[in-house]
Amino acid sequence: MTDKLRIALAQLNPIMGDLSGNLAKARAARASVPEADVILFAEMFITGYPQEDLVLKRALQDDAREAVETLAADTKDGGPAVLMGMPWREEGMLYNAVALLEEGRIAARTLKHDLPNYGVFDEKRVFSSGPLTGPLSVRGVRIGVPICEDIWTPEVVECMAETGAEILLVPNGSPYEVGKEDVRLNLITERVVESGLPLVYLNQVGGQDELVFDGASLVVNADKSVAWALPAWREETVLTHWRKENGIWVCAPGEKAPSEDRLQSMYQAMVLGLRDYVNKNRFPGVVLGMSGGIDSALSAAVAVDALGKDRVRCVMMPSRYTSRDSLDDAKACAELLGVAYESISIEKAVEAFGLTLSPVFAGKKADTTEENIQSRIRGLILMAISNKFGPMVLTTGNKSEMSVGYATLYGDMCGGYNVLKDIYKMDVFALCHWRNAHLPSGGFGPQGLVIPERIITKPPSAELRENQKDEDSLPPYEILDAILLCLVEKEMAFEEIVALGYEPATVKRVEHLLYISEYKRRQAPPGVKIGPRNFGRDRRYPITNAFRDAR
């Protein structure tokens, strides 16, 4: 029996499928806390998470097991035991598991019981549910190891408490979502109150395709006090000290990172999501079209904060409809950010397409066809630069536009990633103001003003025809965004939205535009998930769809 325990928490950023790299990172973390009794890693750390159908590959399962056994062999040195997340194959079934590594071997394992199958999660597709189980014995202490979703309902923790658990160590792969920090703390507090046990919530950090994991790990004592709050958005390995007092384990107070406001967390998520997508996929940098508008300006600012100015290339591609203000604003923004900037006119290309298509279009009036040709020429130029020099094309459309199809396939939708994909237009304005007043933690960009005020205040326009404004064909963004929140995030009925005071004809039109634009969104590049229902993994609608709630 012991009355002291030292638990290390490894809030780290794995790379999907990089088993040797993740093993090396785990070894380094363990070596950094030699005095620890046990070190806890995040859910599925050895492979990265979520693996989707990749985890079904027998080769990945075997390589993961080999990597974990290699790490287990290290524990012969008498140093920290390890709790490592891994895929576990047993009797023909595949499980989401945590293995206890001690004395040179895999000493025990626990299997995830509650498999999430909603939103971005499809775990029932690939894993079997493990049985309800009791705690593991770690250095004489009975440790309950519920895995992520296992604490979202009371059953698993209740079973562990009833079978003698003294501390709960919870490895997580919990993606960021705006407002989720409070949800997590409330959930943790519920499990602590119900079980009477202290709880360690250890979360992954880093970007994985459209998901970004914020870390923000917590240690909450049995009296509901927060002993540790690790910072969001960065890797950190810490050693926590525990003492048994009156039969209850208590964690000594440590670091308590301040909580973030809504805009700060959204911006940080975009930065980390883009940084990891570019770096983990080994792109040298990004290139984007710099139009002089607010979306491209914010995208460029995020890119510089994520990658540094030397890895961002901005290209203005003016046409006869590009205003002098846009030319000046694009250049001014690029100069404030310190990025490489050039201007490539599309006029000759537009003329060439006009001549080429003139026999086909004879007798037809100019319409959105000619507008879309301009956008597609710009996409072609950016893709040519990407092919020739290697940077990934960063697209710049926001969620409001993507919702109603105010974007051109193979034009402004052309590219590899979109940091604004889950950001509504009104939040684009707010984030620009926030960035001008703050440098994000870990950001590589300059302090102070990076987006000229005129870019934020002028009426949004695609500038594909004379005197064009977004509100010529869309409701004002404050109205559009509010209706879209009702339709997309809340799945509200037509009558419910109208009852909030919105014009029935406007709601009907927005719903129609939302539904008929599904085919575009299926072809859109990935982008950082910010809200509760992003397009793609969260919200999966059919392309062919005759249903309309607004009749």
Enzyme catalytic residues: 43, 112, 148
Is 296 annotated in a binding site? The answer is yes
How far apart are alpha carbons 306 and 419 in whole angstroms? Answer: 11
- Identify whether the C-beta of residue 50 lies closer than 8 Å to the C-beta of residue 174: no
Is 294 annotated in a binding site? The answer is yes
- Number of helices (H), then strands (E), in the chain: 17, 20
- Identify whether the C-beta of residue 143 lies closer than 8 Å to the C-beta of residue 166: yes
Is the bond preceding residue 318 a cis peptide, omega within 30 degrees? no
Q: Radius of gyration over alpha carbons of the chain, in Å? A: 26
Is 62 annotated in a binding site? The answer is no
Is 421 annotated in a binding site? The answer is no
Is 173 annotated in a binding site? The answer is no
With CA atoms as reference, report the closest residue to 135 among 157, 112, 115, 113: 157
How far apart are alpha carbons 515 and 512 in whole angstroms? Answer: 5
First to last CA, the chain: 70
How far apart are alpha carbons 230 and 257 in whole angstroms? Answer: 6
With CA atoms as reference, report the closest residue to 219 among 194, 185, 259: 185
Is 372 annotated in a binding site? The answer is yes
SS3 360: helix
Q: Give residue 232's identity as a one-letter amino acid code.
A: A
- Identify whether the C-beta of residue 204 lies closer than 8 Å to the C-beta of residue 231: no
Is 289 annotated in a binding site? The answer is yes
Residue with tokens 């939205």: 497
Task: Supply the DSSP string of 6-40, one letter for each residue.
Answer: EEEEEE----TT-HHHHHHHHHHHHHH-TT-SEEE
Q: Which two tokens stand for residue 411?
A: 């034009």
Is 4 annotated in a binding site? The answer is no
Is 35 annotated in a binding site? The answer is no
Q: Name the binding residues for L-glutamine.
A: 118, 174, 180
Q: Name the binding residues for deamido-NAD(+).
A: 372, 401, 520
Q: Name the binding residues.
A: 118, 174, 180, 289-296, 372, 396, 401, 520
Q: Name the binding residues for ATP.
A: 289-296, 396
